[in-house]
Structure 1
């Protein structure tokens, strides 16, 4: 029970799910977005669905009238644009490539007009949720410089992300240029510059307008024409386009960075994920094993891959590690990272890479690429960018798996406040609350599967891969002061967790880039790109559950005892006083020195049985108590009686 499975969380910017050829296109008749309020002074009402539903349309030609009313002149036609996003959301498009006619303030500048960008809790800071123009007229624009000739095929827009105001653009024009001086519509359709695209009806629903024919240019402008009447001109956008060779560039070859690894670098839906895992297993059968930890609500297997020199066996002195990804189904990058890690470890082990060989032979690695396969499939089917920020994030039952584990923090802290720890209440293995085990408890089958998984394997360390921010969080993730949204709440092992988080953050090239900008509304670079989870935002019921539970259980069915004496504790280098205890045995205390070497430090204990324990074992076997032991027991009883009489 000296194992400390550490649930670090690595957050990485998550590229959106890809467009899927053959997926039925969505139209306003099939998926109506929430309507704008009829009363200008009222807030828009939410739709019946818990998710923003995407809208995909073609270029729907409108004719502008002097009174700014709009008349639809051709029916909606769903077209799947053939080009991928330029990268406003993924930050591949830099801030220097974005320009605007005017801005309300820096926090609402052109650099904030990125698709799916999130605002902070407080409006008015440097990190608001979109671009907003300073004036409310039809001369405002947001400009994107592709920096090379590009075949533009469509535009996706959203309104301002804010919990305090409601602002979005309801229609806009598109202009193109090669020099920023001459602006016009498509070379294929001279009237395009006079045509108006339908835009948003609420702040979050993505609306895609696909052009009827591609337009080749370097610059593209979005020129809002109308907006929510009780708001102002604000939007977030993504541009769809294919880069073309630049005839003015003396370097004729494509200098776009490309991967040199032989990895299947693409998005994988559930079927493709299973196929890739089987392929890796077939290529490296001696070091890999595929197994299921359970099933999702819709019956999809939650498959994991074990990578070890002896798959299926726990080896004494070999730590067990797990990576979990896809807790939120719409966070695509974690799944792909783990799938590529499977491929990489297999290929490099076969090639004799010393570092990989050592990892595989000295560690038992478990990789779960998709904890929420139902959510991923939901988002994947909607195609590129159109899943929005929330579609597929939760399970099919609308459960956020990141908040679905039992809240063991509160139970521990209440016991500490009542001075019950450690004699009346344990501080190393917190029992699961009874309510959490009820059949009607709101606990997802995916969550129960992971809990069972944690109890079956003696994990020493774990990490969860999320999407959305580029930061490593470490426990605790819940504030001790229940009413505070942010509060530094360290564990007893805070130095170890900070060290682990720092190692990850300082070896990630993107995280150590001093010129990179914050993803959304927090600048983690000032703290070394690591943060105590509770000091960021409190999350009760998170997977820190695994930190508060060692791997010996009082709940049925208990895991098998460690007959081989295998125990682990993650510690920073130094000298530690360690005590080993067991019922029926004399406790033993010794000093253990943890060195800077890569190998684990052995600290063995040999416990001797107490006389009572020996007596119990003799009687349990039907034996008789030896005469000398009977005599000693009588003497002990007499001493106790004399002591009691003297005390009276």
Structure 2
């Protein structure tokens, strides 16, 4: 049977009970498989359930709120940098009323089950015969360190939930898609089948290879696959930066099947998306990590197995830290005249052969440079929220750091620097979170700590989990593309039986977010002969971050509704300015520019010939 949902939080906190707890941060609600301790382990968010003393009568109880056939449990020790706490043996009890308990026995005596040998590795215990009941209890008998436990329970529901609200959340998908986990070979085969079913709107290609030589496959969905159409924005979804966060991989494979079938069936929304957008989908950026995680399977890999690449890199934060370079230049008053506020070049030292950069990261960066992406999202796991840039926390400026402080002043927090596009990023993040069936239900709290999203399901990366060199910050500062991270849920590697529900949770969000690429302004920048001007700069008044035109002179600038002064500038041309209005309806406002040749270039040449003396 599949897991009943302690790790995924389908089992609510009030369905978990314990005989006692060591303190509030180690209560029954912390006893979920793969629960992570906060940075400070002595707070309300510690890494397991722990009993108050060393008695052998303590228990951890789960209530499934329905008749369930229990087939086994998965146990794990305490997540901690300091303690080595795990249960080595235990009894199991069952009840239908939470008052009268029957212990699992072998016919003669209560049956002892054997648990963990370390604190991190999950251990599966299958019952020789299933037991039908509503409640289950674990009674630890021996342990290492303190009595601490994290748990998942395997069970098949035999009756419907005795709660109207829970029934509302149980969805069976009407889409006839392939709801299962796909190995590397299966993924390749599925993409091939989609390509054969929809050859006129799909194309398979790869963006590079992993360190073990596996190709990183991508699929393009567009009415003219293989070419950039002038005026058509490019969008990307990626998943699997961390190989053990597999839900994103499966959702993107489901999305490919869905787009193909709905396009053929004449679904007008999907047809509009495919004919007006060039969509790129990469289900697995770290195939090596996935292979490692999938060997352990859905519940038995620990929190970290397969997270990194074969060479040990965390791909999400393996990019050049351009934000710190920008802020240092701002401190020295070099922006924008000597240091750009957009398309910041990659530092020389980062491009050197011996730099600590993953081959996968190099492939992703080359792919970003090659295609004029406008909007993208990377799908991750382990939390449920949408995160947007900046992910880097800005260090205190020298002037602020030198300012006098009162003696009791405490500030470990660098300042939270918002991007110039902060309001637009919030709009984009809300477009995903609010269309998701459960992401904005933040009354449940976060997966591991309290809700960090102010009850909205969205958060700026640096406020929640600051880190330098993220894919999102790099995309924003080096290219035109606004990139966000979507964290899909508490369980990084959900059981196959949960994929239908997760598809329904995310389907509307995946489509709505793609449609946001058509919000704002777009246009062509040409010279007076009608020739396109590549690499022209588009400046929007009031937003200190510019974009550039693509090779065919076209540009897109995602903006919130409002009226904007917009300039087009290019080397050797006189700038041009317009007022452009953005409306609430989806559909970018056309805002074209024609630039006249400037005489400045010729004047400078003459002055140079004259030794730069006045003429």
Normalising TM by the smaller chain, what interval? 0.7 to 0.9
Out of 340, 346, 361, which is 2:254 matched to? 340
| Corresponding residue for residue 353 of structure 2 | 439
| Corresponding residue for residue 286 of structure 1 | 200
| Corresponding residue for residue 441 of structure 2 | 513
Check 1:168–1:577 CA distance in 2 against 1; reply closer, same or farther (3 A cut).
same
Deviation track 1:130-154 (CA, whole Å, cap 9, x = no partner) reads: 2121232000001122333433232
Q: Unaligned regions of 5+ residues in structure 2, if any?
A: 397-410, 481-533, 536-547
CA separation in 1, counterparts of 2:343 and 2:109?
A: 67
Query: Between Structure 1 and Structure 2, how many residues are aligned?
Result: 531
Does residue 87 of structure 1 match 2:23? no
Deviation track 1:222-273 (CA, whole Å, cap 9, x = no partner) reads: 1111222xx3211100112233358999xxx9x9642221111121111111
1:487·1:534 contact (CA, 8 Å) conserved in 2?
Answer: no
1:144·1:219 contact (CA, 8 Å) conserved in 2?
Answer: yes
| Corresponding residue for residue 140 of structure 1 | 58
Check 1:563–1:432 CA distance in 2 against 1; reply closer, same or farther (3 A cut).
closer
Q: Could you state the TM-score of these two structures normalised by the residue count of structure 2?
A: 0.80
Check 1:361–1:233 CA distance in 2 against 1; reply closer, same or farther (3 A cut).
same
Does residue 549 of structure 1 match 2:478? yes
SS in 2 for 1:172: strand
Q: Could you state the TM-score of these two structures normalised by the residue count of structure 1?
A: 0.77
Check 1:267–1:563 CA distance in 2 against 1; reply closer, same or farther (3 A cut).
closer
Does residue 213 of structure 1 match 2:129? yes
CA separation in 1, counterparts of 2:424 and 2:435?
A: 17
| Corresponding residue for residue 51 of structure 1 | none
CA separation in 1, counterparts of 2:115 and 2:612?
A: 91
CA separation in 1, counterparts of 2:613 and 2:362?
A: 51
Check 1:431–1:484 CA distance in 2 against 1; reply closer, same or farther (3 A cut).
farther
| Corresponding residue for residue 594 of structure 2 | 606
Out of 576, 588, 606, which is 2:576 matched to? 588
Does residue 576 of structure 1 match 2:564? yes
Check 1:601–1:110 CA distance in 2 against 1; reply closer, same or farther (3 A cut).
same
| Corresponding residue for residue 428 of structure 2 | 500
CA separation in 1, counterparts of 2:170 and 2:245?
A: 25
Q: Matches of residues 58-77 of structure 1 in structure 2 within 5 Å?
A: none
Larger Rg: 1
1:486·1:534 contact (CA, 8 Å) conserved in 2?
Answer: no
Q: Unaligned regions of 5+ residues in structure 1, if any?
A: 1-82, 554-559, 620-632, 643-648
Moved more, 488-497 or 171-180: 171-180
1:330·1:376 contact (CA, 8 Å) conserved in 2?
Answer: yes
Give the Å deviation of 1:364.
1.0
SS in 1 for 2:555: coil
CA separation in 2, counterparts of 1:219 and 1:443?
A: 50
1:84·1:240 contact (CA, 8 Å) conserved in 2?
Answer: yes
Q: Matches of residues 217-256 of structure 1 in structure 2 within 5 Å?
A: 217-228=133-144, 231-244=145-158
2:443·2:455 contact (CA, 8 Å) conserved in 1?
Answer: no
Give the Å deviation of 1:207.
1.8
| Corresponding residue for residue 565 of structure 1 | 553
1:115·1:237 contact (CA, 8 Å) conserved in 2?
Answer: yes
By percentage of residues, which structure has more strand?
A: 2
Check 1:550–1:179 CA distance in 2 against 1; reply closer, same or farther (3 A cut).
closer
Deviation track 1:192-230 (CA, whole Å, cap 9, x = no partner) reads: 52x3323223321212222333333332211111222xx
Does residue 448 of structure 1 match 2:362? yes
1:150·1:243 contact (CA, 8 Å) conserved in 2?
Answer: yes
1:121·1:163 contact (CA, 8 Å) conserved in 2?
Answer: no
Moved more, 131-140 or 543-552: 543-552
Out of 122, 139, 148, which is 2:40 matched to? 122
